[in-house]
Amino acid sequence: MVTALVFRDQPRQCQLEATVIGVSEAGVVTDATLFYPMGGGQPGDTGIFLTASGQALAVTDTRKGEGRSVLHHLPSDHGLQVGDRVTQQLDWARRYAHMRMHSALHLLSVVVPFGVTGGSIGADKGRLDFDSGEAVLDKAELNERLNDLVVANHPVSSEWISEDELKAHPELVKTMSVAPPRGAGNIRMVRIGDIDYQPCGGTHVASTGEIGRLEVASIKNRGARNRRITLRFAEPESGGQP
Ligand SMILES: [Zn+2]
């Protein structure tokens, strides 16, 4: 089963008609989805499936399924069957916060030039772990440089390259802990202005100004070589129109 990943090219789309192509205890698979499945440190999306009879079914989580399918977690008595049409409605406020924080972590990987060994994205904060060795990281300086990149409003775009191109340029992989997003022999690359270019399958804002002001919440030691840097939004939710 294959689910078309509509969120990749249309990260601001909040409503989509789709057809159920698989139902199991693991979840409901549709032929296309707006819902990002948990991966790369970004949580699975939530929202609603509206059925043809007008019933609103809560989607409580989204995960990768077998092959190239996406599994939507619904209440066990959802009643959906293969062939049913549903209208997907994304919880946009939560997803938009994830898009902003995910994009913010790209900026963090620009200002902290070490390999990333782990990470996590939430709606109010996010973190990356860096293999920084003995390097000394200054919170105030990181804060200033991050917010300079936000204010510069660099455009964010994506493109595909071949697996062979990525193999020829292994230095493009910054995150050692996440396998690059592959699709039919190609790798999805995310570009932020002229400051960041790396494989990524996540969802992003259109330009870094949308992220809003950031704050380095903490820098903690995680073993001799690793530093965990946690970011949070310095301003209340900006809303962001889909
Ligand atoms: Zn990304």
Please name the helix (run of DSSP H) or strand (run of DSSP E) that holds residue 15, with its range, or none.
Answer: strand 15-24
Identify which of 73, 79, 88 has the alpha carbon closest to the alpha carbon of residue 19: 88
Q: Which residues contact 12 (CB under 8 A, 6 or more apart)?
A: 206, 241, 242
User: Per-residue confidence at 47, pLDDT binned at 50, 70, 90?
Assistant: very high
Average pLDDT for residues 36-40, to the nearest whole number?
Answer: 93
b or e along 159-192 (b: 16 or more beta carbons within 10 Å of the residue's beta carbon)? eebeeeebeeeeeebbbeebebbeeeeebbbbbb
Q: Which residues contact 41 (CB under 8 A, 6 or more apart)?
A: 105, 118, 119, 120, 121, 126, 178
pLDDT digits (tens, 9 = 90+) for 192-205: 999 999 999 899 99
How far out from the chain centre does Cα 134 lie?
30
Residues with CB under 5 A from ligand 1 (ion): 190, 200, 202
Spacing, Cα 200 to ligand 1 middle (Å): 5
Spacing, Cα 130 to ligand 1 middle (Å): 16
Spacing, Cα 221 to ligand 1 middle (Å): 24
Q: Which domains does the chain have, with CATH numbers?
A: 4-90 (2.40.30.130), 95-233 (3.30.980.10)
User: Per-residue confidence at 181, pLDDT binned at 50, 70, 90?
Assistant: low
Q: Which residues contact 197 (CB under 8 A, 6 or more apart)?
A: 172, 189, 190, 191
Residue 147 φ/ψ region, left for φ over 0, alpha for ψ in the -120 to 50 degree band, beta for the rest: alpha
Identify which of 159, 154, 229 has the alpha carbon closest to the alpha carbon of residue 192: 154
At residue 237, does pLDDT exceed 80?
Answer: no
